[in-house]
Amino acid sequence: MDGRVALVTGANKGIGFATAQALLKLGMIVYVGSRDVERGRIAVDTLSSDGTAHLALLDMADENSMLATLAAIDAAHGRLDVLVNNAGIALDGASAVDAVPDVIRRTLDTNVHAPARLIQLAAPLLRKSSAGRVVNVSSGVGSLAFIADPHTPSMGKIYAYSLSKVALNGVTTLFADALRADRIKVNSASPGVVKTDLSHQMGRRLPTEGAEIIVRLATLDDDGPTGGFFDAAGPIAW
């Protein structure tokens, strides 16, 4: 993995930070996506002991910041080998009946439309890689089989968040098909319930544990899968 170039969004903390750290330890050059300058700098300073880390001021609500980040990567390396769409939000726990339209819109914009747009913009650089990999960080609640099960607890059926992860899995399958001829592999990863700010520290898994499946999919061999949905144990039912 030495010299491969990776961009990880939302990497200043939590699963994104752990993913960036793991990729650095494998020898990759990692661009640490953060919309907050100070938090991003602190993360990069910490990560630099593990390898070559660069701050990428990246706000998923701002396409110009995506373009600026990709332009910097292009100027420095001429390609992008790994894109990890990790940044995401979970704003409330409302059910389908009670979900607020503005919360639904903001969640879908951040968790679905923004990562899809970033893949579109990054595609020219990914095509220049000999082993382009895209990992969309999804969730177990992105499985229709899971949320359709009447025995699934209500916390697994938070409307805006669950819908966004179902849709993100759709993004994965469509981009995997569109980029198959370019030998770019696109997969969804479910890290599990991880102890992070997004889960309100309720998870039992550590960020390093959640990052394992993401790193595995980011470093797939040429004969690895594309267009799939995986957790640490293997494929997940759509």
Annotation says 31 is catalytic: no
25 catalytically annotated = no
Question: What pLDDT, in 10s, does the model give residues 93-150?
Answer: 899 999 999 999 999 999 999 999 999 999 999 999 999 999 999 999 999 999 999 9
* Pairing, β 5-8 against β 29-34: parallel
Convert the pLDDT of each residue in 55-68 to its tens digit.
999 999 999 999 99
Average pLDDT, the chain: 94
| DSSP letter assigned to residue 145 | H
| Overall domain count for the chain | 1
Cα–Cα nearest to 214, from 44, 29, 3, 8: 8
CA–CA separation, 90 vs 104, rounded Å? 10
**Residue pair 194/213 in contact by the 8 Å Cβ criterion:** no
Q: Please report, for the domain that includes residue 206, its CATH number.
A: 3.40.50.720
- Catalytically annotated residue among 13, 165, 185, 195: 165
pLDDT level of residue 198 (50, 70, 90 thresholds): low
Whole-number pLDDT of residue 200: 54
pLDDT at 170: 98
- Among candidate residues 159, 161, 185, 195, the one labeled active-site is 161
What's the pTM value of the predicted model, to 2 decimals?
A: 0.94
State the residue range of the domain holding 101: 5-235
